[in-house]
Amino acid sequence: MPAGRPPFLSVALVSTAALAYEILLMRLFSISQWHHFAWMIISLALLGYGASGTFISLARRGLLPRFNTVYPLNLGLFGIAAIGCYSLAQQIPFNAEEILWDWHQSLYLLAVYLLHALPFFFAANAIALTLTRFPHAVSLTYAADLTGAGLGSAMIIALLFLLLPQTALKAIALAGLLAMLIAAAELRLARRRAWQVTALSGIALLMVLPTQWLEPQISPYKGLSQALRVTGTEIIDTRSSPLGLVSVIASPVIPLRHAPGLSLMSRTPIPEQIGIFTDGDALTTIDRNPGQARLDYLDMQTSALPYYLSTIDQVLVLGAGGGHAVQQAHNHAAPHIDAVELNAQLVELVATDYAAYAGHLYERQGIHIHTGEARGFLTRSTRQYDLIQLGQLDAWSASGAGLYASNESYIYTVEALQTYLQHLTADGYLVLSRWIRLPPRDNLKLLATAIQALRASGIAEPGRHLVLVRGWQTATLLVKRSPLTAVEITRLKSFSQSRSFDLAWFPGMQPDEANRFNILAQPYYFQAAQALLGDDSDRFINDYKFNISPATDNRPYYFNFFRWGVLAEILSLRGQGGMPLLDAGYLVLVATLLQAVVISLLLIVLPLLGLGRDTSTSRPAVSHSRTVLYFFTIGIAFLFIEIAFIQRFILFLHHPLYAVSVVLTAFLLFAGLGSAWTSRQPAGNRRIVLAVSGIALLGTLYLVVLGPLFDLLMPLHISLRIPVSILLIAPLAFCMGMPFPLGLMRLADAGPQLTPWAWGINGCASVLSAVLAALLAIQFGFMTVIVVALLLYIFAAVVFP
């Protein structure tokens, strides 16, 4: 290999490992902590990329002459840090819930950030050093980086199906050490043998390292940890996939007795159960029922309502979980039950591993279980149902704290509810059950969504089609395609009365019928239902202290209830236990943004001090401000488009995992090709104009045609929808791969000392971009995110250095 050629293979390998590590950390943190904190910690740890730019800018003169040592060293350090820093961070007793009053927690959090930033810092150093050391091969180096990252995203998702996350972590560390080994060969290092021995010793150590040392330590406040405190409770089975770590527990001494929302009047026993926790939380259970008995306790929950209103033959359960909604339907002898569950491992547990325990629930006559996503299933189904039941409740702890605020959900949008309604028979019911939280928000948002969906389906008086019942813990919203009849209303009253459930809305309800058994300070639900069904509903939604405006496919944030307007009021109530009123998820996004802005500013400004003092090189012929603006803007814009497209494709590919892996891999691989292509192009500003024109044209085109195109192609099998998606992404990604190397090529000619700085700026912008995209999408929707990204690309072309 010629001495002047960059070590492409090791660059690609470390990029593969770094991107895989990012996704894997998300998985590991979601198990040990909660998803949104995982997201914050990893977002900030990714500033390790920005820090590497700053570090190399400042230490460039010392590092570049020693490239042959520091490059492989950073690769090896990435491998070691990937495992070492993770293990150290596991020892830090960080508890997110205490951060408000225990200042130690902030220090712990800082330590967690710093530890997790280190592996990214080393990986980024290796790439940035290569870009700086080989200024005239930046296109190909960046192409190797992107291609590697693309492979990383696909590989880690595949790996997570095969391995436990902690084993996958070893594989990533191994990749770091392998990259070091390969680098020694690629660079034809003089002391190659020493590097080889070091790398191989590291690999050998990794092989013997007990994997259980790396097992994620689940927060003692998560459901699984709490359950395991009970004498005799043990984990009897563990499954892992990119969708989550499934832990099956048995509690033979003290039964689980999981029956959320059970009526106060219930005296029926709860059968023996095994518990299933996903990522250490979100408990669902499988009931022991070898005799295939009728499980009466399921009739004492609000979700049993539809079976007491009418005869139901065709049932669709969306989110089958441990099979309760299926059993509930079976209790009432529904002849045809379709049940859909996204997580194949949950299906497997009920259908295969614990089939005998569950009384072969899924093998009983008329019951059909489907693994897949709810809306995807309905898109391909032509069947009409008497009842569509959204079965599974998410974990109360996370839901209760509003932690899902930044999670997109396409299950509870106006469009989703319209789809469900379309699949109902003329007198069919759609039934959605949610936890109750005070002050009311979830159920009211769902009610507002249902009203909008009914109106959009051409129903003039939605109030005649709706019923809302509540216990003290859960509420069930029933939406009927045709108006409710007097007979149904009589049955509804009898159902609620016998179970001490409160009526919150039914057609013709009188105020004195509300708030009888589970008494609130005021009949909030009935008042809200009246307001939402009245002429002034918009004003009610606008004036309400939580965000209860319906979620849409463009703004799929059902779980976000936060409103800035009440922040001051809630904070003033902090001492009186007012903090649970805050929906923390949104604030975590804001907190991430603020921290990232401060750190990014520091990281971007610091190198300027070094660059100002640098007298060894000639003054760059490009301005610092243009450099900052250009690399910052394209960093923001690239991720905006990538994130928004992942969301757009979730509805087309129907499965968040397919969408993430296909879109991310396609984007990175084709952007890599775009980057490589720029190496063959003649110099000149014309190329950036061409690249940005391509992005703007394709982006605008997709804004207009993607929706109708998806509608047209939706019936295709997934094996065809994936290549179609890749084909759609390819040209746009190809163009998006060009601006960064074009900028670096310009710097290579006019100010090579700015290369690591540009790399750092781009790294910081990427972190900010992910947070900003979420905030922007919550406020204005994903279409806006794409429009802003396109405008940013145009701005970038204007400020091209």
**Where do contacts with other proteins occur on this chain (CB under 8 A)?**
95, 97-98, 101, 220-221, 225-226, 229-231, 254-255, 257-262, 264-267, 397, 400-401, 437-440, 472-473, 500, 516-522, 524, 527-528, 543-546, 563, 565-566, 569-570, 573, 575-581
Q: How many Cβ atoms sit within 10 Å of the Cβ of residue 417?
A: 27
**Which of residues 210 and 575 has its CB atom nearest to other proteins in the complex?**
575
By CB neighbour count within 10 A (0-12 exposed, 13-18 middle, 19+ buried), where does 560 fall?
A: buried
- Can you name the residues that pair with 506 across neighbouring β-strands? none
Asked if 9 and 186 count as a contact pair (C-beta separation under 8 A), the reply is: yes
Distance CA(549)–CA(537), nearest Å, equals 10
CA 59 to chain centre: 37
Q: Which residues contact 340 (CB under 8 A, 6 or more apart)?
A: 316, 317, 318, 319, 320, 369, 370, 371, 372, 373, 374, 377
Asked if 175 and 16 count as a contact pair (C-beta separation under 8 A), the reply is: yes
**Which of residues 2 and 575 has its CB atom nearest to other proteins in the complex?**
575
The contacts found for 294-299 with CB under 8 angstroms, 24 or more apart, are 294/331, 295/271, 295/327, 295/331, 296/268, 296/331, 297/259, 297/262, 297/266, 297/268, 297/269, 297/270, 297/271, 298/324, 298/327, 298/328, 298/331, 299/328, 299/331
Q: Which of 617, 766, 781 is closest to 124 using CA atoms?
A: 766
CB of 252 to other proteins, least distance (A): 12
Q: Which residues contact 310 (CB under 8 A, 6 or more apart)?
A: 386, 427, 429, 488
CB of 396 to other proteins, least distance (A): 9
Distance CA(258)–CA(227), nearest Å, equals 12
**Which of residues 99 and 689 has its CB atom nearest to other proteins in the complex?**
99
By CB neighbour count within 10 A (0-12 exposed, 13-18 middle, 19+ buried), where does 797 fall?
A: buried
Quote the longest CA-to-CA distance of the chain.
90
**Which of residues 224 and 785 has its CB atom nearest to other proteins in the complex?**
224
CB of 546 to other proteins, least distance (A): 7
Strand order in the sheet with 244-250: 234-241, 244-250, 273-278, 281-287
**Which of residues 382 and 576 has its CB atom nearest to other proteins in the complex?**
576
CB of 548 to other proteins, least distance (A): 10
CB of 234 to other proteins, least distance (A): 15
CB of 342 to other proteins, least distance (A): 23
Distance CA(160)–CA(166), nearest Å, equals 10
CB of 409 to other proteins, least distance (A): 21
Strand order in the sheet with 466-470: 367-371, 336-341, 314-318, 385-390, 424-435, 474-480, 466-470, 502-505
**Which of residues 150 and 261 has its CB atom nearest to other proteins in the complex?**
261
**Which of residues 458 and 575 has its CB atom nearest to other proteins in the complex?**
575
Alpha helices (H) in 679-754, listed in sequence order: 686-713, 718-736, 739-750
**Which of residues 231 and 510 has its CB atom nearest to other proteins in the complex?**
231
CB of 392 to other proteins, least distance (A): 14
**Which of residues 284 and 600 has its CB atom nearest to other proteins in the complex?**
284
**Which of residues 128 and 541 has its CB atom nearest to other proteins in the complex?**
541
**Which of residues 284 and 755 has its CB atom nearest to other proteins in the complex?**
284
**Which of residues 281 and 373 has its CB atom nearest to other proteins in the complex?**
281
**Which of residues 419 and 518 has its CB atom nearest to other proteins in the complex?**
518
CB of 164 to other proteins, least distance (A): 23
CA 50 to chain centre: 23
CB of 15 to other proteins, least distance (A): 39
Q: How far is CA 382 from CA 104, 317, 419, 457, in A?
A: 57, 15, 12, 18
Per DSSP bridges, beta strands 367-371 and 281-287 are unpaired
Q: Which of 191, 198, 175, 193 is closest to 126 using CA atoms?
A: 175
CB of 340 to other proteins, least distance (A): 24
The length of the chain in residues reads 801
CB of 532 to other proteins, least distance (A): 12
Q: Which residues contact 130 (CB under 8 A, 6 or more apart)?
A: 6, 7, 11, 71, 141
Q: How many Cβ atoms sit within 10 Å of the Cβ of residue 717?
A: 8
CB of 782 to other proteins, least distance (A): 27
**Which of residues 529 and 629 has its CB atom nearest to other proteins in the complex?**
529
**Which of residues 90 and 95 has its CB atom nearest to other proteins in the complex?**
95
CB of 523 to other proteins, least distance (A): 10
At residue 763's C-alpha, the angle toward residues 759 and 767, to 5°, is 170
CB of 217 to other proteins, least distance (A): 12
Asked if 401 and 584 count as a contact pair (C-beta separation under 8 A), the reply is: yes
Distance CA(404)–CA(246), nearest Å, equals 19
- Can you name the residues that pair with 277 across neighbouring β-strands? 247
**Which of residues 439 and 731 has its CB atom nearest to other proteins in the complex?**
439
The contacts found for 96-101 with CB under 8 angstroms, 24 or more apart, are 96/33, 96/34, 96/37, 97/221, 100/574, 100/579
